[in-house]
Amino acid sequence: MILVYEDGNNSIAVYPGAGAGLEESHVHAAASMLGNARVVMASCEVPLSATQAAFELARASGVLTLLNPAPATPLPEALWPMIDVLTPNEGELLMLAGETDLNLAAQTLLARGVGAVVVTLGERGCALFRPLTPLLLIPGHSVQVVDTIGAGDTFTGTLAAALARQENWTDALHWANAAAALSTQGRGAVTAMPSRHQVTLLLQSGIGAPRREACYAPK
């Protein structure tokens, strides 16, 4: 159930449904596919035991792992060091870390073994935290927001695709940022997600990289 407010922001109630039936046995049956991937991406809408099994297989084959921790839920200690990239929004980051300060929260999760934390900050943009590396902040870009449903999914999926293409961090975030911004200008989740061609046009227009435009994801 998704409620969209007049300003384009939303509230989502999640019922696990069929996703709750994903088991470790299903993951192991797909071991060959996971081992040949470039990025294995998961969210918290399936059992964490399945995600952990998938990340174990991915890591054993040198495959990048990416977790979008939505809906936010406490994660098992063994899962943290298996996450190469974590993509929470601000509220999810603070909840997962048990902190009230954004920087401290990100550093807390890095200390648990996460390779990189990419936090989306709504109209304020997004930030990349990595160990022993300066903060990379991409400021927000003003767009006419119609509907933020799927913006976070668009951001994470586009980021995963860019990392799979071995884009550097700055370029990968610009890709994700542009795609997410475009997605807020249409209605619905899948229906509002832009094509790669549309994202390319936005980036080439001078609004996107290398001018450090926004990423937009709902708080």
Query: What is the domain partition of the chain in residue ranges?
Result: 23-204
Task: Find all residues with CB under 8 Å of 132, minimum gap 6, and list them.
Answer: none
- 7 carries an active-site annotation: no
What mean pLDDT is predicted for residues 148-171? Answer: 91
pLDDT band at residue 54 under the 50/70/90 scheme: very high
Question: What's the confidence (pLDDT) of residue 178?
Answer: 86
Highest mean pLDDT among 131-135, 201-205, 209-213: 131-135
- Asked if residue 129 has pLDDT above 60, the reply is yes
Question: What's the confidence (pLDDT) of residue 64?
Answer: 98
What mean pLDDT is predicted for residues 138-150? Answer: 71
Q: Which two tokens stand for residue 51?
A: 């995600």
DSSP character string of 37-58: -SEEEEETTS-HHHHHHHHHHH
CA distances from 151 to 26, 197, 209 (A): 29, 18, 19
Question: What's the confidence (pLDDT) of residue 216?
Answer: 43
- What whole-number percentage of the chain has pLDDT above 90? 59
What mean pLDDT is predicted for residues 199-208? Answer: 74
CA-nearest of 131, 116, 219 to 170 is 116
66 neighbors 176 (Cβ within 8 angstroms): no
Question: What's the confidence (pLDDT) of residue 143?
Answer: 72
Q: Which helix (H) or strand (E) holds 174?
A: helix 169-183
83 neighbors 114 (Cβ within 8 angstroms): yes
Q: Helices 151-164 and 169-183, interaxial angle, to 10°?
A: 150
Tell me the whole-structure pTM to 2 decimals: 0.86
Q: Which helix (H) or strand (E) holds 119?
A: strand 116-120
- Asked if residue 45 has pLDDT above 80, the reply is yes
Choose the weakest-confidence range: 8-12, 27-31, 37-41, 45-49.
8-12
- Asked if residue 204 has pLDDT above 60, the reply is yes
Q: What is the pLDDT of residues 70-107, one digit of tens each?
A: 988 999 999 999 999 999 999 999 999 999 999 999 99
Q: Tell the CATH superfamily of the 23-204 domain.
A: Ribokinase (3.40.1190.20)
Among the options 7, 84, 101, 153, which is catalytic?
A: 153
- What whole-number percentage of the chain has pLDDT above 70? 89
Task: Find all residues with CB under 8 Å of 14, minimum gap 6, and list them.
Answer: 45, 71
Q: What is the pLDDT of residues 176-192, one digit of tens each?
A: 988 888 888 777 777 78
CA atoms of 137 and 192, how far apart (whole Å): 25
